[in-house]
């Protein structure tokens, strides 16, 4: 029996990455394009489960295939050191290491990662990375740094971004690909020391089209040796609303109804959809809603019957609250990744199935 090709676990690489071709092409074009190409500094912005981590990994792998060395980190304490370690490790085959030198020890390729003295290490991070980048640059390669889960509260991220700007202005062979939740990216844009990151290219990871959602479901099924009835495929794709996390979830649940049969039926899809709905409630929606204050939940509930978006003025009137208090609730809910701005004074749901969840809760 073939194994289930879907992977609803967060951060896992999908069997088929759908609908992100243009973003991948832009970034790779930037790497090929030369120093100063604006595509080399890119930020991916999207809510939970929109596919940020999967896309970072996909692009980094593609960059490696073009001869770039990539250092992949998450914005957490220790990330600066991790960049150096990863660059040395990934570039091992390119960088001439003195005989017997350990990568994380002293003196790999004249670069010191001194574990004992963090102060000394942080002072020389920029020059250490510059040396690695230059060595790679001479070989026609370069260093791609990827940072997932950006957070301007992480001092090391601020430091990295500030130093990266120097590398670019010095004409070095570097690229930076970052990803984060909308609220976190916004905080980074307004951070005093690095507000220039606003000039990086920004890609919003919007939901995939229905055609791409169908591909993301059909290709892994067929590659694994089964097939799916057109009606089943349409129903599963429609249920996913193009959200990558839901595509993987509904694919996974639909597949496992009768894994021994060759064709996935409309009944399998209906049962898979029901199971996905339950997982979504238990894994995401219940906790999201429980974490909200009473007032914020009221605000959200007042949005549930507006067709596409809600205007803040309407919501304030409906709830009989002042515009400024409506504005504060709006900011808190955007930061929580539950809703997003949609034009001036308007908001809409970002979390898939949240609207339906609130409608059911009545
Ligand atoms: N373009 C895509 N096509 C199909 N599946 C995808 C795509 N992008 C991501 N996925 C799948 O969707 C799920 C969520 O992706 P991922 O973990 O990358 O999201 P994320 O935005 O990083 O979420 P979080 O903010 O929680 O870290 C994973 O199971 C992943 O394999
Ligand atoms: Mg992620």
Pocket test for ligand 1, best of 8, 46, 244 (most atoms within 8 A of CB): 244
Q: What is the DSSP string of 292-321?
A: S-HHHHHHHHHHTTSSS-EEHHHHHHHHT-
Q: According to the model, what pLDDT value does residue 96 have?
A: 64
Q: According to the model, what pLDDT value does residue 60 have?
A: 97
Long-range CB contact pairs, 189-193, < 8 A, 24+: 191/152, 191/158, 193/158, 193/162
Return d(Cα 17, Cα 15) in angstroms, integer. Answer: 7
Q: According to the model, what pLDDT value does residue 123 have?
A: 52
Using the atom order of ligand 1, give the atom closest to the CA of residue 249: 29
Q: According to the model, what pLDDT value does residue 77 have?
A: 96
291-360 has which fold?
Arc Repressor Mutant, subunit A (1.10.10)
Q: According to the model, what pLDDT value does residue 12 have?
A: 84
Atom 25, ligand 1: which residue's CA is nearest? Answer: 48
21-204 has which fold?
Rossmann fold (3.40.50)
Q: Which of 31, 19, 81, 87 is nearest to 55 (CA)?
A: 19
What class is the 210-288 domain?
Answer: mainly alpha
Domain map (residue ranges) of the chain: 21-204, 210-288, 291-360
Pocket test for ligand 1, best of 21, 46, 51 (most atoms within 8 A of CB): 51
Using the atom order of ligand 1, give the atom closest to the CA of residue 54: 18
Would you give per-residue pLDDT tens digits along the chain (362 residues)?
Answer: 889 999 988 778 899 999 999 999 999 999 998 888 999 999 999 988 899 999 999 999 999 999 999 999 999 999 999 999 999 998 887 776 543 343 333 344 445 444 444 444 455 899 999 999 999 998 889 999 999 999 999 999 999 999 999 999 999 999 999 999 888 898 899 888 888 888 899 999 999 999 999 999 999 999 999 999 999 999 999 999 999 999 999 999 999 999 999 999 999 999 999 999 999 998 888 988 998 999 999 999 999 999 999 999 999 999 999 999 999 999 999 888 899 888 889 999 988 899 999 999 87
Q: According to the model, what pLDDT value does residue 97 have?
A: 56
- Note whether 214 and 233 are within 8 A (CB): yes
Global pTM?
0.88
């Amino acid at each position: 029996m073939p194994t289930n090709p879907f992977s609803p676990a967060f951060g896992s690489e999908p069997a088929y990455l759908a609908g992100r071709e243009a973003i991948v092409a832009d970034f790779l074009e930037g790497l090929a394009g030369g120093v100063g190409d604006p595509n080399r500094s890119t930020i991916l912005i999207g809510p939970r489960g929109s596919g940020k981590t999967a896309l970072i990994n996909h692009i980094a792998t593609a960059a490696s295939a073009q001869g770039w060395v990539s250092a992949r980190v998450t914005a957490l304490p220790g990330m600066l050191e991790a960049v150096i370690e990863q660059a040395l490790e990934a570039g091992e085959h390119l960088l001439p290491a003195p005989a017997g030198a350990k990568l994380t020890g002293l003196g790999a390729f004249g670069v010191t990662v001194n574990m004992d003295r963090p102060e000394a290490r942080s002072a020389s991070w920029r020059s250490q990375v510059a040396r690695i980048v230059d060595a790679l640059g001479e070989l026609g390669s370069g260093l791609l740094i990827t940072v997932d889960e950006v957070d301007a509260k992480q001092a090391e991220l601020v430091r990295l971004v500030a130093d990266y700007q120097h590398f670019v202005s010095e004409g070095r062979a570097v690229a930076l690909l970052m990803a984060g939740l909308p609220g976190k990216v916004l905080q980074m844009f307004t951070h005093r020391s690095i507000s220039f990151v606003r000039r990086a290219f920004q890609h919003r990871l919007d939901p995939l089209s229905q055609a791409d959602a169908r591909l993301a479901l059909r290709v892994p099924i067929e590659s694994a040796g089964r097939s799916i009835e057109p009606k089943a495929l349409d129903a599963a794709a429609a249920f996913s609303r193009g959200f990558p996390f839901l595509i993987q979830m509904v694919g996974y649940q639909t597949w496992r109804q009768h894994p021994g049969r060759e064709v996935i039926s409309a009944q399998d899809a209906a049962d898979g959809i029901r199971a996905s709905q339950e997982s979504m409630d238990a894994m995401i929606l219940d906790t999201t809603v429980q974490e909200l204050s009473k007032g914020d939940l009221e605000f959200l509930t007042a949005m549930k019957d507006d067709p596409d978006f809600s205007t803040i003025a309407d919501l304030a009137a409906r709830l009989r609250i002042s515009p400024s208090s409506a504005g504060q609730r709006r900011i808190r809910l955007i930061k929580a990744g539950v809703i997003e701005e949609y034009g001036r004074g308007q908001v809409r749901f970002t979390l898939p199935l949240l609207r339906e969840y609130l409608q059911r809760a009545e």
